[in-house]
Amino acid sequence: MVLAATGLLADAAAVAGLFAESPRALVLIAAVLALVLGGWLGVRLWGRPFGFTAVLTLFSVLAGIVLIAVAAALPAEDAVAEDSGGGTTTKQNRTTDPDAPESVTTTKPPTAGHQPKALEVKLDYGVGADVDGAKPTLTRTQRPTGDIDISMTDIGLIYTTGDGFVAYNGKLSDAESTCANALTDEVTKWERELLAVPGTRYCFATSQGRTGLLEITGAPGAGGAQLELAIRVW
């Protein structure tokens, strides 16, 4: 009976080993115990009548064989460790809070139809203006240099920085995009200098590379002694 109890304990240990931290080692130990027990019982009972103890012997041997097969099917510990530690897939946790806002990256579009306030610029002969700021800055000069964007010579010719002016006859709401395209178009017809003709409008680029629209509102000798301009800069 003691041997029978030992066989049962070995089988129980094998079952527990299936759920243990190192199942393969425990199953192998249980298999060895079962085979040893079965072999020992077989030697002791050799030549005796077949009975319960003989059945237990056969069961122990069969259990040992089955446990060896189970142990062979279980993965090795190092393989399990490598599989658990060598993965390269990274799972990102998502916020499950229904009230949490989604992270969305957006680009703010340009304000359609937005027009800057026109700068009122009055130039005497031989004076230039910097129109990149909130207010025009006047400087005595014949030609635009440095920060000077617009100037009028002593003989009444108007000059600007860069390549010159591009005539504009469109709507004020389209001036920004139309002028920006015209100033970068290689086939644009440039005017290097202007005569002061009231009511005409021209695209130009400032010393800072900004897009500008110039409108001549008054010319020297036509109701005034100064060149009067309305300038918008984007």
pLDDT in tens, 133-160: 999 999 999 899 899 999 999 888 999 9
Q: Domain range spanning residue 134?
A: 119-233
- Final residue in a domain of this structure, among 58, 82, 106: 82
pLDDT for position 69: 72
Residue 117 predicted with pLDDT over 50:
yes
102: alpha, beta or left? (left if phi > 0; alpha if psi -120 to 50):
beta
Structure letter (DSSP) for residue 234: -
- pLDDT digits over 174-226, tens only? 999 999 999 998 777 889 999 999 999 999 999 999 999 999 999 987 566 79
- Final residue in a domain of this structure, among 31, 58, 82: 82
Percentage of the chain exceeding pLDDT 90: 39
pLDDT for position 133: 92
- By CB atoms closer than 10 A (0-12, 13-18, 19+), residue 5 is exposed
Among 161, 165, 140, residue whose Cα is nearest residue 150: 161
- Final residue in a domain of this structure, among 82, 103, 129: 82
| Radius of gyration for the chain, computed over Cα atoms and rounded to the nearest angstrom | 48
Cα 200 from Cα 129, distance rounded (Å): 19
Give the phi and the psi of residue 227 in degrees, each rounded to 5: -85, 125
Residue 72 predicted with pLDDT over 50:
yes
Cα 114 from Cα 127, distance rounded (Å): 30
| Residues 61 and 123 both lie in one domain | no
- How many domains does the chain fold into? 2
Taking residues 152-169, what's their average pLDDT? 91
Band of pLDDT at residue 100, cut at 50, 70 and 90? very low
Cα distances (Å, whole numbers) of residue 158 to 151, 202, 216: 6, 11, 10
More confident: 154 or 56: 154
pLDDT for position 88: 44
Sheet hosting strand 119-123, strand order edge to edge: 119-123, 227-233, 211-218, 201-205, 166-167
| Residues 164 and 227 both lie in one domain | yes
| Residues 71 and 137 both lie in one domain | no
